[in-house]
Amino acid sequence: MKVTTENEKLTSVKCAGLISKPKDTSLVELYLIIKQALLKHQVELLVDENSAKNLKCKGVPFDDMCQKSDFLISLGGDGTLISLSRRSFYYDKPILGIYAGQLGFLTDIKSENIDDFLDKFFTGNYRIDERMMLEISLHVEDKTVKLVAFNDAVFVRDNITTMSTVEAFVEGQMINSYRGDGLIVSTPTGSTAYNISAGGPVVYPLTQALILTPICPHSLTQRPLVLPVDFEIEFKSEDDVQIVIDGQDRYRMRDFDKVTVKIATRSAKLIHSLERNYFEVLKTKLNWGNL
């Protein structure tokens, strides 16, 4: 496997869609820089109607924006990009992350580099990384609610004064019974999020794998587990357990008969500069190699 992949690039770019960090009115100047840089290449910029309120511009409904755009832009931080990846999942559009603030694990284009990067982008000097996502199915009677996660699905106790037990099965066979504060099911991209804080492994983001990491387990012998990507894992619990999707959506496990997690049918497509180096990001964010 190569450190980076050379996936197909966009054949035609006439329109881009943008969402910004919610309730942040300080991004107007960055939005205008992006808009002007795109106009230079005769590309129309559509803005999600909720973001438009903060950016003081005309907006369009989110679904219309996704349908009409050739690629999407996330203006904010990693959380904004994760939300956009989930909301636009079924439109299968590549996403460019432009960060406002500190360098994130996912967003790598600085405000001062927008013009330079877009000049390279429109001459084909970029890459599109495909990041595995999770499909979470909530089953109750004859109904199924399907959700997608970019980073993780977390099974966490609802009552801080008691422990919870979450049982995991594959093809009817129990893998483990996790007793403690909960369990994280992470993608490789999400391995540097909640997973790493709970003692889970850092997994290269282009890897295909499911990562199970117990949260403060009752038994010290419980350890993180990396499983093949073609597994579908079923989870059950009789305790007060909540399912938290990417830290953004929350469901009570008791409201469903069972919960299953597997690889999603599509990947998130992230647009990056050719100079982006994941190991350099790790060294910067995690302070590796510094005494």
Domain ranges of the chain: 15-132+267-286, 134-263
**pLDDT tens, position by position, 255-290:** 999 999 999 999 999 999 998 888 888 888 888 876
What's the confidence (pLDDT) of residue 102?
A: 66
The region, left, alpha or beta by phi > 0 then psi within -120 to 50, assigned to residue 199 is left
Task: Pull the structure tokens for residue 226.
Answer: 């990396």
What's the confidence (pLDDT) of residue 111?
A: 83
Write down the CATH number for the domain with range 15-132+267-286: 3.40.50.10330
What's the confidence (pLDDT) of residue 291?
A: 53
pLDDT exceeds cutoff 50 at 1: no
Quote the pTM value: 0.92
Any catalytic annotation for residue 63?
no
pLDDT exceeds cutoff 60 at 5: no
**pLDDT tens, position by position, 226-264:** 999 999 999 999 999 999 999 999 999 999 999 999 999
What's the number of CA atoms in the CB half-sphere (13 Å) around residue 40? 15
**pLDDT tens, position by position, 47-97:** 999 999 999 999 999 999 999 999 999 999 999 999 999 999 999 999 999
Instruction: Average the pLDDT over 109-128 and give the result.
Output: 92
Share of the chain above pLDDT 90, in %: 80
Helices and strands (H and E) in the chain: how many? 7, 17
What's the confidence (pLDDT) of residue 45?
A: 98
What's the confidence (pLDDT) of residue 7?
A: 67
Its sign, for the CA torsion 94, 98, 104, 110, is positive
What's the confidence (pLDDT) of residue 110?
A: 85
DSSP structure string for 130-178: EE--EEEEEEETTEEEEEEESSEEEEEES-TTS-EEEEEEETTEEEEEE
Element (H, E) at 290: none
Structural contact between residues 118 and 41, judged by C-beta atoms closer than 8 angstroms? yes
What's the confidence (pLDDT) of residue 290?
A: 67
The active-site residue out of 48, 78, 108, 152 is: 78
Q: What residues pair up with 77 in beta bridges, in sequence order?
A: none
pLDDT exceeds cutoff 50 at 159: yes
Question: Taking all residues of the chain, what is their mean pLDDT, rounded to a whole number?
Answer: 92
134-263, what's its fold?
Tumour Suppressor Smad4 (2.60.200)
